[in-house]
Structure formats: C-alpha cells, structure tokens
C-alpha cells in the first residue's frame, strides 16, 4: 500500500496546483482503488486502471 500512497499524494499535490491531467489521474486512482477494495479485487490494479482512465478524462476536460 505504501507504493500506492506516495504517487497518490504527489498527484493530489499537483492537482491543487491546477494540472487537469494529474487531477484526473489522482481522482481516478483513488476511485479505482476504493472500488477494488470494496469489491475485494486487486487494489493496486484498480488504482492503475483508474488512474490511467482518469488521466485521459482530465486531459480531455482540461482542454
């Protein structure tokens, strides 16, 4: 979980600075990890997939 927490904190800090791509990645990673935890899935894989999807959404919306 430590390896997942550090990038989430970094993404959160960058989100506050206004980068839409990283904001989307941070939100997506958190949502993916939470969903995986609730459904007893792989939390790390959920965070990676959620982060990737969130980054795409953040990039599209941020333009």
pLDDT band at 16 (very low <50, low <70, confident <90, very high): low
Question: Per-residue pLDDT tens for 22-42?
Answer: 778 878 888 888 888 888 888
Sorted by sequence, the CB contacts under 8 Å of residue 47 that are 6+ apart come out as 4, 8, 29, 30, 32, 33, 36
pTM of the prediction? 0.60
Other C-beta atoms closer than 10 Å to the C-beta of 37 total 13
């Amino acid at each position: 979980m430590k390896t997942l927490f550090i990038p989430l904190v970094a993404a959160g800090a960058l989100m506050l600075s206004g980068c839409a791509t990283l904001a989307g990645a941070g939100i997506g990673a958190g949502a993916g990890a939470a969903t995986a935890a609730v459904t007893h899935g792989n939390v790390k894989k959920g965070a990676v997939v959620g982060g990737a999807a969130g980054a795409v959404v953040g990039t599209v919306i941020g333009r």
